[in-house]
Structures are given as structure tokens and as C-alpha cells.
Amino acid sequence: MRNVLQENPSGTAVMEVAANKDLTGHKLLMLVPWEPPAAYIENLHKTFPGLEVVHANWDTWQKKTLPSHIGDEDWKTVTILLTGPKFPTKEAAPNLQLVQLQSAGANYILNNPLFTDTNIVFCTANGVHPPQITEWIICTYLAFQHRIPRFLDNMKEHKWEHSWDDSDTQDAVNQRVGIFGYGSIGRQVARVAKAIGMDVYAYTNRPRPTPESRRDHSYIVPGLGDPEGTLPSKWFSGTKPEEITEFLSSDLDLLVLSVPLTPQTKGLISAPQFQTLRGKGTFVVNIGRGPVINTDDLVTALNEEWIRGAALDVTDPEPLPKEHPLWDAKNVIITPHVSGNSNGYNHRLLDILKINLHRLSEGKEFLNKVSRKRGY
């Protein structure tokens, strides 16, 4: 097992690990609150006979500490870690080489010394969420368009409120969705949106002018997404306010926010941006992170009808306090950060882990590797 430190094109030091087909000398610790399928573990042993696999049934999202039964000597031999937002210190795990996160977001590692002060590779679970989150996005948008929340309220009151106006509902055909953050989730949104007749505009922070630059190199559920980047009819890019304004001014009926939370995206959508959306009366969906939107400005935008409505699976603050005015804002649908829930989540997470184990064994670049320069 030989580590090689080299410079990548951006000038940032990165760790390359020499090929080790059997993963001899490696130890994988899986910190997950569920039992990995026996067939999966058996397959790991068959594929990588030199790999030691340890599972600790531990919820790193709910527990405040790491499991106490994993002792100091255990941590010293861990080279690969599957975990959520809890980590050992770099001193406790001196041989750690690869951390596979359970989440698609990586904001909680950005200030952790294990990330900032080492060359340990961190990889996200980017790609586990697109099917279910896309369903949530399209579901809430169509529910709003077809006034389903109102009819559900009427149903509770046993109230039949028939409309004799056949043209009182806007269907999705020829509507335009702007996807702010054209990653794995955005690409699946584009796929489904196109299927129901919508036009798609994509926004990325870096320019994607060529076919190669528009390809998706993250984890993709077979048959889904936009692997070649051909679905958007128009691409936008940049980080300057005027570049964002150009995108928001492009007659968007639906704006989907699917950007990670970084210092650059905090408060990305505030009063000036809501004012820009005012002309079209855009419906805003946020499935990224709550602080991407300025909540006070969002409440104003909803109540003053600068935007047509909003569907939020993330809020700021989160959990949203019972007395918060956002609950009572006009035309808002709020769910408690559940759009990513799926019975297929763990299967896709383990698939990503196995891909990265293969790449580790072959000495190749990892899938969904977090950039220390970009923070995601």
C-alpha cells in the first residue's frame, strides 16, 4: 500500500493510492444505522479478499458521539470509513485514506480538520437522491398547479367545490423550468420535466460550452438523468450577480434550487432576486439547503405575491419553529426535509461505495470526490 502525493492542475495537493487489486491491508468501517445485506458483504470479500470489513450499527446523524465500542486501536487500522457527519480526529485515525459520506451534501465537513488539514479523500453520495427528490419536486409543483392542497382541505370538511371553468388550471406543457445547479438531481428533474412537456434551462457556476463539459461524471441510476447534458435548451453559468440575474430574468415558470450550501451560495436568493422573479410570477422550489434562501425575504415575496408560490423541503432555521411566520405565508408547501427519503437510498449508497472501492483497488480517480477548492 503506497501513497503518492502529487499536484493536480489546480495546484492543490491530492493523494493518489497505488493499485492494490485485493485491497490487502485495508480495513473498511461502516458506520450506518442499518444492517448491510449479507450478500453485499459476501461480494466485497469475494471481490477484495484482502479487505477487512467491520460494521457498527450507529446513527451518526442522531448520536452525538462516535460508538464507544470502536476503540483507539481499532481506529488506528481503519483506512476506509463510511459515515455521516461524525468523524474521528486525524490523530485517532492516522491511516485513514478514504471517507465515503452517506449524504450528497458535504457542507458539514468543510471546517473539519480531518478535511482541511489532511489529504484524505472525501466522497459524497451524490446520485442517491435524484429519483425520489425529482418525484417530490414535480409532485409539489403539479399539486400547486392543480390546487391539490385546497381540495385536500375541502375533503376534510366534506366539501364539494366544483369549478365550471375548464380553463382554470395551468398544465405543464410549454412551461419553463430553470434548474439552478445542474447536478445529478437537476438532470433527473430535466428528464421528467421534458417528459411532461416543459422547456428546460440549466444554470451552473462554471461554463459548460462543449458537449464534453456538459456530460455527467457522477453516479447515475441506469436509465435516468441527463448523462450527455442534451436536455436543456439553454445553458447559463457564472457567479456574478449580473449573471444570476440574467438567468432569473429568463421567464421561468418554475425555479428549482438544487445547489449545495457553500459560503458563496448562502443567501443566494434574497429580496433582489425575488424582485427579478416578480415579472413572471415564478414558483420557487428549494430542495438544496435552507440558508440558500433568505427566509425573511421569502416570507415577504410570498405574502406580497412577488412569486406565485413555493415548495420547501428545507428551511432556515431548521427545524422550522412552530411560531415561525413562514408556516402561514401565502401559497407555500413545506415538508420536513424528507424529499430524499427512499427505500432505494441505502442500495444506491452501497453501490457508490463499491464503485469507489474498485477505484481504490485500481488506483483510479474516485467517484463524487469533494473538491477542497470548491467545497463540494
Cis ω before 319 (30° cut-off from 0): yes
Q: Percentage of residues in the chain with pLDDT exceeding 70?
A: 95
Task: Give me the mean pLDDT over the 115-130 stretch.
Answer: 96
**Top-confidence residue, 15 or 349:** 349
The whole-angstrom separation of Cα 43 and Cα 351 is: 12
Eight-class DSSP state of 123:
E
312-318 contacts at long range (C-beta below 8 A, 24 or more positions apart): 312/285, 312/286, 313/133, 313/136, 313/286, 313/287, 313/337, 313/338, 313/339, 314/286, 314/287, 314/288, 314/289, 314/290, 315/290, 316/289, 316/290, 316/291, 317/290, 318/290
Q: What is the pLDDT of residues 87-96, one digit of tens each?
A: 999 999 999 9
Task: Give me the mean pLDDT over the 319-336 stretch.
Answer: 98
Asked if the model's pLDDT at residue 105 lies above 90, the reply is no
pLDDT reported for residue 16:
55
Asked if the model's pLDDT at residue 165 lies above 90, the reply is no
Task: Give me the mean pLDDT over the 274-278 stretch.
Answer: 97
Q: Percentage of residues in the chain with pLDDT exceeding 90?
A: 89
Q: What is the pLDDT of residues 171-229, one digit of tens each?
A: 999 999 999 999 999 999 999 999 999 999 999 999 999 999 999 999 999 999 999 99
Asked if the model's pLDDT at residue 155 lies above 90, the reply is yes
Is residue 248 within 8 Å of residue 255, measured between CB atoms? yes
- Which amino acid is residue 36, in one-letter code? P
- Which amino acid is residue 65, in one-letter code? T
Asked if the model's pLDDT at residue 4 lies above 70, the reply is no
Indicate the pLDDT class of residue 326, thresholds 50, 70 and 90: very high
Asked if the model's pLDDT at residue 9 lies above 50, the reply is no
Q: Which of 8-22, 220-234, 320-334 has the lowest mean pLDDT?
A: 8-22
Task: Give me the mean pLDDT over the 348-375 stretch.
Answer: 95
Asked if the model's pLDDT at residue 2 lies above 90, the reply is no
